[in-house]
């Protein structure tokens, strides 16, 4: 059966996350239902990452299998037609080899976290960033963040309900940059633990506020205990931005 890679954008504000749940609409549900309305096939959509409720995506990747070989532009446009008015869109559809898997073939994932750091409350863009009125030192946050780049036990930044087999991960990038009133935090790794990015951001906030030194941050990392870290940053500021695959798997 032909397999198709779908690159997705979605607004997670009113969604329960990627995965189907009884508690409300999910990205997976919207996508699978749109495919059924397009071609009458009941499919299972597999994603590169299972984003939580309220988390957005600029470059999520999923794959589906269909019984017919459709032009990829038609797949993109037809699914988008039937997705309306759900806050989900297919940016691109590609035919991929049968051994391509959106989740298991991925060798890299990236996230962006947006903080709006200003005294005035956030009106336009509320729900798409974490508003923090107290001034933050982005340079200090970036300095602390570099002590997470590499291979570590990330238990301090791991959700209690995380189902990962190990707390050890290799973080390839964690950059903090101020652009005007915004502080942008970019993270990249092969894979992440549940809430890892949001917990790292919440802990970096303590450094930005001046409540913690970089040494305090390192101490929290080495404690390997969630109770040693900062708060879990709100889901609204997190964006799944992209997935990396080996080039040969993307050649049909």
The SS3 call for residue 215 is helix
- What's the token pair of residue 111? 């996230």
**Which parts of the chain fold into alpha helices (H)?**
27-39, 72-83, 138-145, 196-208, 214-223
The CA–CA distances, whole Å, from 135 to 124, 203, 208 equal: 20, 15, 8
Tell me if 19 sits within 8 A of 28, measured CB to CB: yes
d(CA 90, CA 167): 33
CB atoms within 10 A of CB 244: 15
Pick the closest to residue 141 from 180, 97, 175 (CA basis).
175
**Residues that are catalytic:** 52
Tell me if 90 sits within 8 A of 7, measured CB to CB: yes
């Amino acid at each position: 059966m032909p397999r198709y890679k779908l690159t997705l954008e979605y607004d997670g504000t009113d969604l329960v996350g990627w995965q189907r749940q009884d508690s409300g609409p999910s990205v997976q549900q919207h996508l699978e239902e749109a495919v059924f309305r397009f071609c009458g096939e009941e499919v299972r959509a597999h994603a590169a990452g299972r984003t939580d409720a309220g988390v957005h995506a600029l470059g999520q990747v999923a794959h589906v299998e269909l019984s017919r070989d459709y032009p990829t532009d038609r797949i993109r446009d037809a699914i988008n037609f039937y997705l309306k008015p759900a806050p989900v869109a297919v940016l691109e559809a590609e035919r991929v080899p049968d051994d391509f898997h959106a989740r298991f073939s991925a060798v890299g994932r990236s996230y962006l976290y947006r903080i709006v750091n200003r005294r005035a409350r956030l009106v336009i863009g509320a729900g798409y960033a974490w508003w923090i009125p107290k001034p933050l030192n982005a340079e200090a946050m970036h300095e602390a963040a570099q002590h997470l780049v590499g291979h570590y036990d990330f238990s301090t930044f791991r959700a209690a309900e995380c189902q990962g087999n190990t707390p050890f991960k290799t973080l390839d990038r964690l950059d903090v940059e101020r652009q005007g009133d915004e502080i942008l935090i970019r993270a990249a790794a092969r894979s992440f633990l549940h809430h890892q990015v949001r917990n790292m951001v919440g802990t970096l906030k303590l450094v930005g506020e001046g409540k913690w030194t970089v040494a305090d941050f390192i101490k929290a990392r080495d404690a390997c205990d969630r109770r040693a870290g900062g708060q879990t940053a709100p889901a609204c500021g997190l964006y799944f931005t992209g997935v990396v695959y080996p080039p040969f798997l993307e050649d049909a």
